[in-house]
Structure 1
Amino acid sequence: MQLKLLLQVVAVIAIHVAAAGHFSPPVHPWNRLL
């Protein structure tokens, strides 16, 4: 069941990346990681 957990993590990251791309805040935690 590790694959299911991995997919959930990837989904959460994808949502945050999409949100960062749409709103583009000056200081966003995900922008520092990517």
Structure 2
Amino acid sequence: DAIESDEPDEKGGAVEAALRDSGSRQQSRLADSLV
């Protein structure tokens, strides 16, 4: 737990950023396919 609590912000932030980027890309693809 100590190791995980030491670097949660960097890894978590990177993961969240990646998920947001992939999510936005998927949404744009869906919008393009729908239009």
TM-score of the pair, normalised by structure 1: 0.65
Superposed CA RMSD in Å reads 0.5
Return the structure number with greater helix share: 2
**2:22 counterpart of 1:22:** no
Higher relative contact order (CA 8 A, sep 6+): 1
Instruction: List structure 1 runs of 4+ shifted beyond 6 angstroms.
Output: none
Which one has the largest radius of gyration? 2
Percent sequence identity over aligned pairs: 4
TM-score of the pair, normalised by structure 2: 0.64
